[in-house]
Amino acid sequence: MFELSFIWAGIIAFAILTYVILDGFDLGIGILFPFAAGEREKATMMNSIAPIWDGNETWLVMGGGGLFAVFPLAYAIIMPALYMPIILMLLALIFRGVAFEYRWRTKRWKPVWDLAFFGGSLVAAFMQGIALGALVQGIEVAERAYAGGWWDWLSGFSILTGCAVVVGYALLGATWLVLKTEGSLQSQMQVYATRLAAATLGFIGLISILTPFQDPVYFQRWFNLPGSLLSVLMPGAVLAAAWALFRGLKAGKDAQPFLAALSLFILCFIGIGISFYPNIAPPGLTIAEAAAPDESLRFALVGTVILVPMILGYTAYAYWVFRGKIDPEEGYH
């Protein structure tokens, strides 16, 4: 079905996925920050993302802003439903975002901003995971508004997904550092990445088993034909990515572990998409219902088709400019 709303659902999904894999690794670096061996390692870790983190985080604004633009009803329902996790995520991102500059502006308060960087990254990642879990569980809707309670988002399942995202982001961060650093920091991160990969796979397995029981629709989708074909394919693909990840780490490859970890995230994202479709906020709100009028979708699409390739172009250029291993001495501070 090639309606405008479905094209837009694809674009928003792309923006959210891009956010998850880009800000995922730099939030992961914040999560790993306290485990750095010393100031030199800390500086290297931060400098590895300093020129690009801001662009990465803009995809979050694109996800939220895009939802507002083309699925205003979904935006109006999901935001109040996830009120507290979103506010906490925003506050955490404030602490983390200013740490990039403040850390270099003071000596006495440096530990405070290091803590802000770590705590902000940790809480932001955890809240994103909670939000995901709460969405998978479903949101109660009545008459174009959120109708559930203020603590509906909090459950064993959402805490589980929260932890999973923290561990998964840390894995992305560790493999990014394997790619971007050398010497002792790199070997430390190779060890961390191996452990984090095992933990991430554990979480993926656990959540995959639990998800079909969150909603009968999910269950049918995964365990009836043709969905059950995917139930065989998806775990297979996850295992292949995991194999590439462990092999890459063991063989001391630079880029392979990072790319394999990214594939794990992409596969999980596709899995969630399969469960959700055609809803935008399960169990009841569909993509078509939540969409803005076609006139809005068309107007926004024109710019998106022109601008998103440009954005991807200069984002890739910025990554290219700062390619290669990090020189711990470099920076402008």
Residue with Cβ nearer other proteins (143 or 229): 143
One residue of 106, 184, 187, 228 binding other proteins per CB under 8 A: 106
Under the binding rule (CB under 8 A), the answer on residue 288 touching other proteins is no
| Strands annotated E in 141-215 | 141-142, 145-146
Rounded Cα gap, residues 48 and 50, in angstroms:
6
Secondary structure class of 144 (helix, strand, coil): coil
Q: How many CB atoms lie within 10 A of CB 85?
A: 23
Residue with Cβ nearer other proteins (18 or 137): 18
All residues at 6 or more sequence positions from 319 whose CB lies less than 8 Å from its CB, including other chains: 52
CA angle 122, 127, 129 (to 5 degrees): 100
Strand partners of residue 286? 279
| Number of residues forming the site for other proteins (CB under 8 A) | 78
38 φ, ψ (degrees, to nearest 5):
-170, -175
Secondary structure class of 286 (helix, strand, coil): strand
Under the binding rule (CB under 8 A), the answer on residue 239 touching other proteins is no
Rounded Cα gap, residues 118 and 123, in angstroms:
9
Under the binding rule (CB under 8 A), the answer on residue 10 touching other proteins is no
Nearest approach, Cβ of residue 41 and other proteins (Å): 10
* Stretch binding other proteins (CB under 8 A), from 162-170, 196-204, 280-288, 296-304: 296-304
Q: Roughly how many angstroms between the first and final C-alpha of the chain, as a whole number?
A: 52
Under the binding rule (CB under 8 A), the answer on residue 295 touching other proteins is yes
Residues numbered 108-167 forming contacts with other proteins, rule: CB under 8 A: 108-109, 144-147, 150
Which tokens in the block code for residue 56? 């990465």
Nearest approach, Cβ of residue 32 and other proteins (Å): 18
Residues numbered 66-85 forming contacts with other proteins, rule: CB under 8 A: 66-70, 72-73, 75-80, 83-84
Under the binding rule (CB under 8 A), the answer on residue 186 touching other proteins is no
Radius of gyration, CA atoms only, the chain: 20
Under the binding rule (CB under 8 A), the answer on residue 14 touching other proteins is no
Which tokens in the block code for residue 52? 């690009």
Under the binding rule (CB under 8 A), the answer on residue 262 touching other proteins is no
One residue of 87, 191, 239, 255 binding other proteins per CB under 8 A: 87
Under the binding rule (CB under 8 A), the answer on residue 286 touching other proteins is no
Residue with Cβ nearer other proteins (101 or 187): 101
HEC secondary structure over 200-249: HHHHHHHHHHHHHHCCHHHHHHHHCCCHHHHHHHHHHHHHHHHHHHHHHH
Residues numbered 18-57 forming contacts with other proteins, rule: CB under 8 A: 38-40, 43, 50-52, 54-55, 57
One residue of 19, 25, 100, 118 binding other proteins per CB under 8 A: 100
